[in-house]
Amino acid sequence: MAVRTRKAIASPDLASVSGITPLSAASGILGVRVFDVGQGDAIAILAKVGDTEQVALQLDYGGRERNPFTTSADVDTRMPVSQNRLLMLTHWDEDHWSSAPKGSQAKGAKWVVPRQVTSPRAVRFSASLNDIHCIPEKHVGQTIRFTAGNGDYIVAEKIGSFPGAFAKNEDCNKSGVALAIVHRSSDGDEAILLPGDAPFDKVAPFVSLEKQGVKLRAIIAFHHGAGTHWTASTDTLLQNWSRAPILDVVFSCSRPNSYSHPDDGRYKALLPGANFHMTADLRTNAAVSRDILF
């Protein structure tokens, strides 16, 4: 197999992770908005700020194969990103950032990204951004937490180091960032998992949340519902995880696609009774996104 040409993201590190404050004005977390971007991921974390709903953090801004965008303005209209909003990237595979150079708004965001060895095209795009910083390597494997006024919180982890074992022909899925959002409640805390392309059982905060008894409210299926990297540990984690009264599973992918995503039968066998959604189905009703709320 030929080795791909790979280069390293050269953006500077964050001076301090504590300087990231996506929930500083939020009284609570409402849930997530999952955008139809075709094959790829783009997710907004929704928060309550005063009496309004606002996007606290944009997670990924992708969409490549069979995306719904016809013009650059269409990208901005369907997935608005205000100036200086925090935009966090799970990893540098193109289907997680490729809509940003097509529009204009996302390029004005504050980007927080993993340092990875990736494609020259991704490196060129990263160099075009005015406000982009990498998560310092000292935080690899550690939980980063952001908390809202009512105790709701976001947890994030960079799960692999740079350059790491996969540097020469790196699999960015194994060294990216995974997140979860947690809603605190007297009836039991609930979580929505936002793994990017990382397998659920490889994300330490996910394993910790299950052990703490936090109920599973929703899953954005990792790697667009792919069956790759799925292990017996993945099965065990999901089977043992206590569920909220409503469980939603979202597959963010196009129909059709060249990757045979999703492997939805695996999820349906493990999670009977859950509600299953595919972002591609939104176009039937001319919808732009699906909200999953606590």
The predicted model gives 143-163 an average pLDDT of 95
Please report the pLDDT score of residue 173 as a whole number. Answer: 85
The predicted model gives 226-239 an average pLDDT of 92
Integer Cα distance of 28 and 45 in angstroms: 11
Model-level pTM? Answer: 0.96
pLDDT tens digit string along 265-276?
Answer: 999 999 999 999
Integer Cα distance of 227 and 72 in angstroms: 33
Please report the pLDDT score of residue 232 as a whole number. Answer: 94
Integer Cα distance of 25 and 193 in angstroms: 23
Please report the pLDDT score of residue 192 as a whole number. Answer: 99
Q: Are strands 215-220 and 243-251 parallel, antiparallel or unpaired?
A: parallel
pLDDT tens digit string along 67-92?
Answer: 999 999 999 999 999 999 999 999 99
